[in-house]
Amino acid sequence: MVKSSVRERQVFFWVIIFPLMMYIIFGVLLQGEDKPRVAVYISNSSTAEGLAERLRRYNMTVEVVEGIDDPINFLKKQAALGRPAVYVATNGNVTIYSTSVYGQMVEGLVERALYFQQLGEFHNITMNGEFRNITMNLLYVEGGVMHNGTYKIDVVMANVSAISVSRNGTHILVTIPRWSPQFGGGVHYVDLSTGIGSVKVAWLVRMGLMIGFYLMLTVAFTMYGLHATGFLKRLYLSPKSKYVCLLAVALGSLVLSLMSLFTIAVLTYLVGHPVSVFTNVGFLVAFISNVMFGLGIGLLISVADMRLRSGVTPPVLPTPLFLLLAFLSGYFIPAELLPEGILNVVQNLPTYVARVFAETAVLYGLYDWWRFTTAFSASMAILVGGLLLHPVVKRQ
Amino acid sequence: MSVVVVEVVGVSRKYGNVTALEDVSFEVKRGEMFCVMGPNGAGKTTLLEGILGLRRLDRGTVRLFGVEVRGRPPFDVLRRVGYLLEGMNLEPALTAWENLRLVAAVGGVKTSDGELRAALETVGALEYAKRLYSKLSAGQKKRVLLAAALLGRPELLILDEPEAHLDVASRLEIMNLVKRLAAGGVTVLFSTHATDIAVRYADRIAMLNRKILAVGSVEELVAKFGGKWKVVVRTKRQPAGQERDGGLYVTYVNSPAEVAEVLRDVEALEISVHPPDLGEVFRKIWGS
């Protein structure tokens, strides 16, 4: 199926060209994000200049200022003047206040800068070059005393999204990483080191998840293709079980999805962005959830098509249904823009939950496993239902 | 081992209020080339696919190789059957060779490269084995489909209008090929709506129009429904009781066996014997 699909121009378009087009279009739309026009204020301290120097490497306008008593009010005033800003308070812990969607990016860069600052001071630190999911042993100074401990970064996000900040007019996005060496625990780090911003990261996550979700199209169309070539009759007469045949179809579609994903990952790497989005555990399990959901829906569409129309022409339902669900699940627009009544309903969609789960996992290192498990189970139930109900061939 | 390969007894099927098959019964014997002939909508596809379990049958019994089958035949039976059914095609973006591999895998048939090559060689398709299926002509595609049906060396071939959608030359090529397979010992159950194909290639014909109207060899059908064989003789003098047709003399007999009797006292310079006008026979049967 994969070989056959690769040779088909239409499949080649949908699997390779279409995602690339989306990538390029949205890449162009978001291209300014790599050089953020945001003012960053850093409170004066022993670490301030080092931080400022590092942030300036990312074309940020950075100013070291004397300590500001009321950072939130300060930033509100800046926002009122149309100047989104980030304030980094460095009084022992580091606290970041932001009225800009770049707040998360600054936070990532600050973490990185602080880390290298520590690294520069203590050359005997042994690192494997990775920040993610490891425990780092390092020496650090606190209160004039050198400690030998385990290093932990914990990111706590305000429970509001950038779009709701923009919409409700407060223009306050508060990102509060608690920067304090602690013993025990792992490292939660958002790797924004090459300047990739949260919006673009979110877009990559969404596109990756949509590719998995897109299975509903490929499965339904594949089943039609198998019908059109009489292959369903061969499957029916095959000694292999119905489930093996259907899963083989599903596997073929999954491989196509992975090809799409791989293409995007390669392009992401080639243009200099980290591909770590695609290796994040949260993203991967969300991808699997979407694959199962898309596959189940694809099979159910195929069942309905065979029962209602004998599956004689390509099913028309997949594309509009895919677009509708992707739209409602916040893949194309921020879901917060939806009316509250609709939002209350759609936020239970497995695709919605998968997106939110993956985004928060990739951007903030937060994993709401309980909610995700519910959605994952629903996706699995839909897939099982599709497998059980599908007759492979409609016996007329 | 059963001499009867396919046995259909009292099979009926309705689609809503429309009767597709009514009390259809016939047998196909080993090594026979058996044709189910009927116009479009006569129930040929329903019958052939019903035998394979692809369509539900309301009543009746089907036995393949002596085994009664309901729904999908057991694999022990199925692996002895090759089939080419209505709407059956292959993956256009795969080569003929790759398609055969796929069909073998789906059908659970273990085949070596040698067996694949043999199947393609049998149908004369080896030369375009590596070409994409979509690039083949209709006749070439049909050959590859036949090769697919031959995987696993089936004892029975069920072919639903194998010559359909082909030009005159190609349909004869395909049917000659099927005939050669039958001569090699394969039992063939095929359907057609083309009288010339049925007459030329079938050992026996079942005339179907929702129900079986007649079953038999061409000779038997002719004998039963009154067609005559035409004997055309060129001779020095006109035999008694014979019509003159241009410069030749013509007589009609019930069967080829009677030709010798007719010519016993005739000094013939040239003789030709023509089968009955089967179209006339079939028109009578349909009319009945």
Could you read off the pLDDT of B175-202 as tens digits, one per residue? 998 999 899 889 999 999 888 888 889 9
Please indicate whether, in this complex, the C-beta atoms of B54 and A237 are within 8 angstroms of each other: yes
Q: Is A236 on the interface with B (CB under 8 A)?
A: yes
R_g of chain B computed on alpha carbons: 22
Tell me how far CA of residue B113 lies from CA of B127, B130, B151, B254, in angstroms.
15, 13, 11, 52
pLDDT at site A33: 47
Task: Tell me B270's DSSP state.
Answer: E
Please indicate whether, in this complex, the C-beta atoms of B88 and A4 are within 8 angstroms of each other: no
Confidence of residue A95 (pLDDT cuts 50, 70, 90): low
In a mutational test of the A interface, the residue from B69, B79, B85, B91 whose CB has the highest number of chain A CBs within 10 Å is B91
Tell me the mean pLDDT in the region A79-90.
Answer: 66
Mean pLDDT for back-to-back runs of 10 residues, chain B (288 residues): 85 91 94 92 92 91 92 88 89 89 87 90 89 90 91 92 86 90 92 88 92 88 77 74 68 80 78 76 72
Chain A residues closer than 8 Å to B53 by CB: 236-237, 395
Please indicate whether, in this complex, the C-beta atoms of A229 and B15 are within 8 angstroms of each other: no
Out of A364-368, A385-389, A392-396, least confident range? A392-396
Tell me the mean pLDDT in the region A323-333.
Answer: 83
pLDDT at residue A91 tops 80: no
Confidence of residue A139 (pLDDT cuts 50, 70, 90): very low
pLDDT at residue A137 tops 50: no
- For B124-149, the pLDDT digits (tens) are 889 999 999 989 998 899 899 999 99
Tell me how far CA of residue A295 lies from CA of A99, A249, A252, A262, in angstroms.
41, 10, 11, 19
In a mutational test of the B interface, the residue from A13, A222, A229 whose CB has the highest number of chain B CBs within 10 Å is A229
Residues sharing a CB contact under 8 Å with residue B86, sequence separation 6 or more, in sequence order: A230, B45, B49, B160, B161
Q: Is A231 on the interface with B (CB under 8 A)?
A: yes
pTM: 0.65
Please indicate whether, in this complex, the C-beta atoms of B108 and A238 are within 8 angstroms of each other: yes
Q: Nearest chain A Cα to B90, which residue?
A: A229
pLDDT at site A161: 41
pLDDT at residue A174 tops 50: no
Chain A residues closer than 8 Å to B86 by CB: 230
The ipTM, to two decimals, is 0.79
Backbone angle region of A144, left / alpha / beta, with phi > 0 → left and psi within -120 to 50 → alpha: left
Query: Which of B15, B87, B107 is the closest to A230 by Cβ?
Result: B87
Q: Is A251 on the interface with B (CB under 8 A)?
A: no
Please indicate whether, in this complex, the C-beta atoms of A3 and B15 are within 8 angstroms of each other: no
Q: What angle do CA A382, A385, A386 make, to 5 degrees?
A: 90
Q: Give contacts of A 144-163 with B, CB under 8 A.
A: none
Chain B residues closer than 8 Å to A234 by CB: 88, 103, 106-107
Residues sharing a CB contact under 8 Å with residue B252, sequence separation 6 or more, in sequence order: B228, B229, B230, B231
